[in-house]
Amino acid sequence: MKKLVNDVHEVVRESLEGFQLAHSDLVDVHFDPDYILRAQPKEEGKVALVSGGGSGHEPLHGGFVGHGMLDAAVPGAVFTSPTPDPIEAATRAVDRGAGVLYIVKNYTGDVLNFETAAELCEMDDIEVRTVIINDDVAVEDSLYTAGRRGVAGTMLVEKIAGAAAERGDDLDEVTRIANEVNDNMRSMGLALGPCTVPHAGKPSFDLGDTEVEMGIGIHGEPGYRRTEMKTADELTAELYEKVRADLPFVQGDRVIVLVNGMGATPLSELYIVNRKVHELLKADGIVAERTLVGDYVTSLDMPGASLTLLRVNDEMLELFDAPALTAGYREGM
């Protein structure tokens, strides 16, 4: 294994230190327990958004802390949920009297630990709501979760709900919007190869040189089938059809398209995937209102890609277009 690390047990700590040094104008990183805050918190009365999960998915979640998105992110060890203590500490740090919304990917450890932190905070009259993200259409009841996994669409929930909180919506309304986004989006990914978790020192699964795993999870969990390598258009069409049929998306729908890299796929290849997605959308009479292409929710060094479609209305588009200033995403600032 060749990686730019010093000590496999210090990867998260040293990465957070480097993240702070690179983005001190945007974030304030706390240690023991570990959590990331906005460097310039909003005034009293703003709903706070907190998310988090295992490290290894950067820029999710810490890269989306800042104006118009998250107020705090809580990183666990690589592919491991943070414990309740740092989640509770981050929640107390960002509460401004208007309540806190947790945005939690549907993995068992994340759900349980955020739930425990919420109970601890509510004992001191901090109102906490939780939205569970479950946008993955590939499999039910995976290695890490009961029900569908939360994957790349998490970023869209953080952006749109974050904009709602930034404009001053109350906790009920921010929660409603976050749930509406989650209910109207679907995602699926593929892997061309495995990722390598630093402390494991070897690939997380075996995949032949000519094989592709369809429906992969963001921790290297298996998908729904393994197939021989095909052209980019053929693989993209399978992703698209699975995603389109699940909601289902129909003629006349307006969507935001997210073509997401898994960490080791060149941007040039992601644009080839995006090209095919837009061709298929046009053929189905579905309007692509906005498009994001790049690494937003990764799986360390995994080669692969995922597709997310979010059915939108005017309000969602307005919130998606609202200004944001974070290390991992910027809009209008």
| pLDDT tens, position by position, 33-60 | 999 999 987 778 999 999 999 999 999 9
Residue 143, pLDDT > 80, answer no
What average pLDDT does range 196-210 have in this prediction? 88
**Residue 297 near residue 329, CB atoms below 8 Å:** no
Task: Inform me whether the pLDDT recorded for 142 exceeds 80.
Answer: no
57 catalytic per annotation: yes
Residue 173 confidence class, pLDDT cut points 50, 70, 90: very high
Q: What is the pLDDT of residues 206-263, one digit of tens each?
A: 899 999 999 999 998 888 999 999 999 999 999 999 999 999 999 999 999 999 999 9
Q: Pairing state of beta strands 48-55 and 100-105?
A: parallel
Q: What tokens were used for 46? A: 């703003």
Gyration radius of the chain's alpha carbons? 19
Query: Of residues 23, 61, 67, 219, which has the active-site annotation?
Result: 219
Average pLDDT taken over every residue of the chain: 96
Mean pLDDT of 152-167: 98
Pick the catalytic residue from 23, 57, 61, 67. 57
Side chain identity, residue 178: A
> Which of 51, 53, 55, 52 has its CA nearest to residue 11?
55
Q: How much of the chain exceeds pLDDT 90, in percent?
A: 90
d(CA 185, CA 309): 6
pLDDT of 61 above 80 = yes
